[in-house]
Structure 1
């Protein structure tokens, strides 16, 4: 390997917690050469993200980094913020795992991208706006001229992630740290974004450090891989060797942890939730409206899982919120024969414990001011006021244990957990109320495959034990195939196809569904095809100026 542009030696990260110091990274060495693509993989909580947060000077206030991280010979650990800011955002940029918490909710996304360009590239306001539109178009955000004025909450999870990618690529960095950059993206856009990053890497000699739990991406995109567990490196080497002849049992377990099997068919039962002709429309200025959901109908029975798939922005998450009366909608939704569409907050309260939701962005859905024990128990305070404080705490600890978290973690705060651990906390908060129906919006997108497999098994076990009904939204078709009885395919706010899971996957009736399925199970081939066609939309030529 050529001389590294980033060299990390004996890097250690620890966090001060009420239970004492927690060591998240335990003496890591890492070298990254110009133009190289290195993957760092491992289970949730292995220290992958904290390793690079430390190098970038972005640890939480209770975090401490020791050791060395040198960029082109300059030490980053302990570097004053003013000098560090000349490096991060320009020479080293990062795509964060949770875009909603990384974007300013009070500023339009276009202004946030333009600010990066003006600070580091010294562009005029007009030039920065023009470049921002180009970047948003490059990452395939629909109608970029209008989207520059959108606020983060007006975009879907996948759309927000594309904004983050555009911002990270704006200043043509030497090093791009991509922390789970495609978890919120559907498979077709995922391939285009990866091809875009690969093209830019080739043209600019940009190095990529890919933090991911998706081993399919690693195989398709990277040359070297480093496997982490419990803050340490288990093994590292070239991708071909690690995938074909791993030395460690842990690595072999990661490689084998793909969703598999199919869900046993739920017995017929009267619907617990029924939606008829649901529509959600948003005003987009000058009297125009956007039909985010347009005439969707759905039935859901106890013990049944309805999977909803479709590209980012297809209306999946908006439909989920409409089903639970979390936003204004037309049409009618009935829960146990009671119409709930249009009910006030007070009128909905008796139904909230029975209709729970796990949101796509766990960090944004968890209060940073409460411990996880308080977060999980909070719903019991409202919906089970007869319980004493001790019993609420006990139920919260039991719910955390059900999702694979140590009860002792109940005293920690959300920022002290990895993305995957935070998602499990969100699931625990929902199941502690023992709901009748659970809407799961990308509940495993932030989880590594091994933990994902455990969480899916947990959800299926809970469903079988309590006859729960699930609406399961995901862009991961392997997950949908494993958990759903029926599948609805959405595009542009409408349902384009629906039916039993086996029929949808084995004999899809529409070209759009066939494209989604092909992309989901052959990412390497699609990525290669994108890279072989430099004139395809998503080429990096716009950024690279060639």
Structure 2
């Protein structure tokens, strides 16, 4: 395709600005961006959180929040979209330009079947009757690879997996065979194998329909494999744009170079073979009661963890990987005795299998947990100082207020935050800073074991790297032992010296990190690694 042929241009954006009026004053979210997208081309817009990449395309679609204002130009063919009437926008949106979002569950109406939701753009834009629309919906469901479409057409969103819901969103977007599909972080919430399937599906559909794709993402691994051209944004401005080969092979801007260098790297050395076992769970079984009543006859149970044994040595990091529903997070909570479970548990030399909640309390300071979502796990009503010293009231009640404050200052310094921040609230911090606060809350108790449940998945790549380096430094300084739970295999590879691969509640393979990644024995492990490192 001749990319210089302007007749092939689907969308042209010029000097686009987006401003928001907030209680704290004007926020200039997008500061004069400009680019074009051609038929059959994939343009990736990359940048970290707050770079303005999503707001740029929301402005193009006329979907800004009520306190937002847009100026400049966004032309679809000969049609100017900025300042266009609602009727003009509605004739383009959902028909000529369509958009899919990161989290399909929040984009789909839980009260309507997926068949009805896919049919809506067909009825609205093409005037199809219900019977004709239903027939077309079945074609679309087959096209995007939803199994058993005749049955699934009458399913509700909650009855489908994350990958299937994203396929539903793609079917809706493709219903009217658009010229341009905008995909805003379409795979971030998905497991690596499902992510690979969705990206392959989009590439296949693009060839079939000849449509242009604008991919909004912070995942450079995805960009490298699917984009034709790349736009790099930072703080509302485009700092660099070019072909994929130009950006990845000869980046010019320091910010682009920083993004490219942010892939987790390094090798975690294994502890000595004679290092003592500090935490052990033998033959762990976790069953969940999924209820009875109208939907079930009799009590039903779901086995989340099925006869799993894990031994963590002093100074070791065990990475636990697997797709959603594999049981990895449930296993982590069972090892900390936070769930009702069967099995034998040992912390250092003590058998803690039969201890109740009160009897476990003296061990809690030694066994800490850091969660995936730093915002959800921090109380918005407490200051940072109150949050990180909370455990001291339980485990060291004799400490004076001055001593607690001293410990808070030490903990914040250790995680690289200004101690003056202890008088501020969580909402005043970025995602990476909030995760440092969550880590400080654990470290202030001087634990021996920390279980980290997806601690970097909500963070930009460059921030991920900083948090990983912080965790490594803390481990070396305090001789900590980690269980690192993640579906991000590149992070696991950089953090762990031993890897456990889980599927359907069981361990399918485990061994030293390099052995698992370089020569996996099981097909499931091979599929995970192939999906993670080829997309």
TM-score, normalised relative to structure 1: 0.75
Residue in 2 that maps onto 1:170: 172
Residue in 1 that maps onto 2:434: 425
Alpha carbons of structure 1 residues 137 and 208: separation in structure 2 relative to 1, 3 Å: closer
The alpha carbon displacement at 1:338 in A equals 6.4
Q: Distance in 2 between the 1:93 and 1:353 partners?
A: 51
Alpha carbons of structure 1 residues 256 and 280: separation in structure 2 relative to 1, 3 Å: same
Q: How does 1:183-198 map to 2 (within 5 A)?
A: 183-198=188-203
Q: Distance in 1 between the 2:426 and 2:479 partners?
A: 32
Q: Distance in 2 between the 1:400 and 1:57 partners?
A: 44
The alpha carbon displacement at 1:128 in A equals 5.8
Q: Which has the higher contact order (CA 8 A, sep 6+)?
A: 1
Residue in 2 that maps onto 1:237: 242
The alpha carbon displacement at 1:496 in A equals 0.7
Instruction: Confirm whether residue 522 of structure 1 aligns to residue 534 of structure 2.
Output: yes
| Structure 2 counterpart SS, 1:176 | strand
Does structure 1 retain, via aligned residues, the 8 Å contact 2:352–2:360? Answer: no
> Pick from 359, 373, 380: which aligns with 1:370?
380
Does structure 2 retain, via aligned residues, the 8 Å contact 1:161–1:185? Answer: yes
CA shift digits 1:72-127 (9 cap, x unpaired): 555555667787566555544434335565566xx37xx46445324322374997
Does structure 2 retain, via aligned residues, the 8 Å contact 1:376–1:429? Answer: no
Residue in 2 that maps onto 1:535: none
Instruction: Confirm whether residue 40 of structure 1 aligns to residue 45 of structure 2.
Output: yes
Residue in 2 that maps onto 1:544: none
Alpha carbons of structure 1 residues 450 and 339: separation in structure 2 relative to 1, 3 Å: same
Instruction: Confirm whether residue 228 of structure 1 aligns to residue 225 of structure 2.
Output: no
Q: How does 1:138-537 map to 2 (within 5 A)?
A: 138=144, 159-160=161-162, 162-172=164-174, 173-267=178-272, 268-272=275-279, 274=281, 276-281=283-288, 283=290, 285-286=296-297, 289-324=301-336, 328-331=340-343, 337=350, 339=352, 355-360=367-372, 365=376, 370=380, 374=383, 377-378=386-387, 380-381=389-390, 384=393, 395=408, 399=412, 402=415, 421-422=430-431, 424-434=433-443, 436=447, 437-523=449-535
The alpha carbon displacement at 1:137 in A equals 9.8
Does structure 2 retain, via aligned residues, the 8 Å contact 1:113–1:132? Answer: no
| Structure 2 counterpart SS, 1:271 | strand
Q: Distance in 1 between the 2:88 and 2:361 partners?
A: 52
| Structure 2 counterpart SS, 1:220 | helix
The alpha carbon displacement at 1:324 in A equals 4.8
Q: Distance in 2 between the 1:327 and 1:60 partners?
A: 42
Does structure 2 retain, via aligned residues, the 8 Å contact 1:12–1:28? Answer: yes
Residue in 2 that maps onto 1:117: 118
Alpha carbons of structure 1 residues 257 and 286: separation in structure 2 relative to 1, 3 Å: same
Residue in 2 that maps onto 1:94: 99
Does structure 2 retain, via aligned residues, the 8 Å contact 1:273–1:334? Answer: yes
Does structure 1 retain, via aligned residues, the 8 Å contact 2:286–2:341? Answer: yes
Q: Distance in 2 between the 1:205 and 1:463 partners?
A: 51
TM-score, normalised relative to structure 2: 0.77
Q: Distance in 1 between the 2:374 and 2:143 partners?
A: 28
Alpha carbons of structure 1 residues 511 and 119: separation in structure 2 relative to 1, 3 Å: closer
Alpha carbons of structure 1 residues 349 and 217: separation in structure 2 relative to 1, 3 Å: same
Residue in 1 that maps onto 2:36: 31
Alpha carbons of structure 1 residues 221 and 151: separation in structure 2 relative to 1, 3 Å: closer
The alpha carbon displacement at 1:307 in A equals 0.6
Q: Distance in 1 between the 2:22 and 2:407 partners?
A: 21
Alignment RMSD (CA, Å):
4.5
The alpha carbon displacement at 1:51 in A equals 2.4
Report the number of matched residues: 507
Residue in 2 that maps onto 1:5: 10
Give unmatched runs, 5+ long, in structure 2.
Answer: 124-128
Alpha carbons of structure 1 residues 19 and 298: separation in structure 2 relative to 1, 3 Å: farther
| Structure 1 counterpart SS, 2:532 | helix
CA shift digits 1:115-145 (9 cap, x unpaired): 5324322374997699489749946789996
Alpha carbons of structure 1 residues 411 and 489: separation in structure 2 relative to 1, 3 Å: same
Alpha carbons of structure 1 residues 506 and 55: separation in structure 2 relative to 1, 3 Å: same
Q: Distance in 2 between the 1:400 and 1:84 partners?
A: 51
Q: Distance in 2 between the 1:147 and 1:324 partners?
A: 42
Give unmatched runs, 5+ long, in structure 1.
Answer: 524-546
Q: Distance in 1 between the 2:167 and 2:361 partners?
A: 39
Alpha carbons of structure 1 residues 377 and 247: separation in structure 2 relative to 1, 3 Å: same
